């Protein structure tokens, strides 16, 4: 190994673990992925629990890697965060979602909501408002149909500054969802002060529904709390009919999960929307 050049030395850094090879080379590839248009946005439908009709969708990023095929966001979002590239990629996601939303609107799907995930680094970017305003204007997005998903940990980092940003977003008309609810650290006192629209109950709590020894207390309490705060509730990771039926029976508003559909390419999402509309 001593005969290798400096770049190879870095490759054998002491911090390397079993996944080190993969991570390091993916990181190098990420620099080019954005320029070479290798990211894709997939869309996962959200349906009204009562009517079963699609009311919105979440945009979820994928990386169409030239050698590895589709790479999951769990494998590259942390790398994007670390390198700061998440800011540019996040902007791409926002633009892509708005652009695709316009295509669906022009095809007659008028009131669909679309949400995108906003990471903490992206949320704390001082140009965030500016980028969102520009994206809305240039992609002719309808602000109240755009939703940003942020986690409890993002909002609790600096609650006072966050309230200011959220108020600015609200005055633009953009909706805010709290993602992965129940998994992070959040203070109910602050949640009440935040101008939020949606609470997304994490899959880990939905998993408990209908399991032997499972406990639906947290799901029920979260829905009740959210409704008291005037928030709409989305249950995430709904995979089975018993979960769907139970969530509907306790007043959960929207359902998202493999039971409805996996995240779909834009073409498959279009087919799904057409089918859902004629059902």
Task: Using CB under 5 A, list all residues that contact Ca ion.
Answer: 117, 149, 179-180, 236
3-state secondary structure of 264: strand
Q: Min. distance of Cβ 102 from Ca ion in angstroms?
A: 22
From 18-26, 152-160, 186-194, 233-241, give the range in contact with ligand C2E by CB under 6 A.
Answer: 233-241
Sheet strands (E) in the chain = 39-48, 54-65, 69-71, 113-117, 146-151, 175-181, 198-201, 232-235, 254-255
Work out the burial of residue 99: count CB atoms within 10 Å of its CB; fewer than 13 is exposed, 13-18 middle, 19 or more buried.
middle
Residue 169 CA to chain centroid, in angstroms?
Answer: 17
Residues belonging to the chain: 279
Residues in CB range of 243: below 8 A, 6 or more apart: 206, 209, 210, 235, 257, 259
Q: Min. distance of Cβ 187 from ligand C2E in angstroms?
A: 21
Q: Min. distance of Cβ 115 from Ca ion in angstroms?
A: 7
- Residue 271 CB coordination number (10 Å): 11
Q: Which residues pair with 175 in a beta bridge?
A: 147
User: Among 77, 129, 163, 250, which residue interacts with ligand C2E (rule: CB under 6 A)?
Assistant: 77
From 46-54, 72-80, 167-175, 270-278, give the range in contact with ligand C2E by CB under 6 A.
Answer: 72-80
Residues between 250 and 269 with contacts to ligand C2E, criterion CB under 6 A: 257-258, 263
Q: Min. distance of Cβ 268 from ligand C2E in angstroms?
A: 14
Please identify, using beta-carbon distances, which residue of 35 and 106 lies nearer to ligand C2E: 35
Q: Min. distance of Cβ 154 from Ca ion in angstroms?
A: 12
253 makes contact, choosing from Ca ion, ligand C2E, none, with CB < 5 to 8 Å by partner type, with none
Please identify, using beta-carbon distances, which residue of 29 and 149 lies nearer to Ca ion: 149
Please identify, using beta-carbon distances, which residue of 185 and 258 lies nearer to ligand C2E: 258
Among 177, 183, 189, which residue's Cα sits nearest to residue 123?
177
Please identify, using beta-carbon distances, which residue of 44 and 165 lies nearer to ligand C2E: 44
Kindly list the distances between the CA atom of residue 241 and the CA atoms of 135, 173, 185, 199, 221, in Å, as whole numbers in the listed order. Answer: 38, 35, 30, 22, 21
Distance between CA 242 and CA 257 in Å, rounded?
A: 13
Q: Is 29 in the site for ligand C2E (CB under 6 A)?
A: no
Residues between 102 and 161 with contacts to ligand C2E, criterion CB under 6 A: 116-117, 119
217 makes contact, choosing from Ca ion, ligand C2E, none, with CB < 5 to 8 Å by partner type, with none
Q: What is the DSSP letter of 144?
A: G
Distance between CA 265 and CA 42 in Å, rounded?
A: 5
Chain positions contacting ligand C2E, by CB under 6 A = 44, 60-61, 72-74, 77, 90, 93, 116-117, 119, 179-180, 236-239, 257-258, 263
């Amino acid at each position: 190994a001593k005969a290798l050049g400096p770049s190879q030395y870095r490759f054998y850094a002491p911090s390397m673990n079993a996944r080190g090879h993969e991570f390091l080379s993916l990181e190098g590839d990420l620099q080019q992925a954005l320029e070479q248009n290798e990211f894709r946005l997939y869309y996962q439908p959200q349906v009204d629990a009562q009517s079963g009709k699609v009311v919105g969708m979440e945009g979820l990023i994928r990386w169409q890697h030239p050698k590895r095929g589709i790479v999951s966001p769990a494998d590259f979002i942390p790398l994007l965060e670390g390198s700061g590239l998440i800011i540019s990629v996040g902007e791409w996601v926002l633009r892509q979602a708005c652009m695709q939303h316009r295509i669906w609107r022009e095809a007659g799907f008028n009131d669909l909501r679309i949400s995108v995930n906003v990471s903490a680094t992206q949320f704390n970017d001082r140009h965030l408002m500016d980028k969102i305003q520009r994206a809305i204007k240039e992609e002719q997005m309808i602000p109240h149909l755009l939703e940003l998903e942020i986690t409890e940990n993002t909002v609790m980092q600096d609650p006072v500054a966050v309230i200011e940003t959220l108020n600015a977003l609200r005055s633009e008309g953009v909706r805010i969802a709290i993602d992965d609810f129940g998994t992070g650290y959040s203070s109910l006192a602050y949640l009440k002060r935040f101008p939020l629209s949606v609470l997304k109950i994490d899959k880990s709590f939905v998993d408990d529904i209908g399991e032997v020894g499972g406990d639906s207390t947290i799901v029920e309490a979260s829905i009740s709390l959210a409704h008291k705060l005037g928030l709409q509730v989305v249950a995430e990771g709904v995979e089975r009919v018993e979960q769907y039926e139970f969530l509907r029976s306790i007043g959960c508003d929207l359902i998202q999960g493999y039971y409805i559909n996996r995240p779909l390419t834009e073409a498959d999402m279009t087919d799904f929307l057409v089918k859902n509309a004629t059902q």
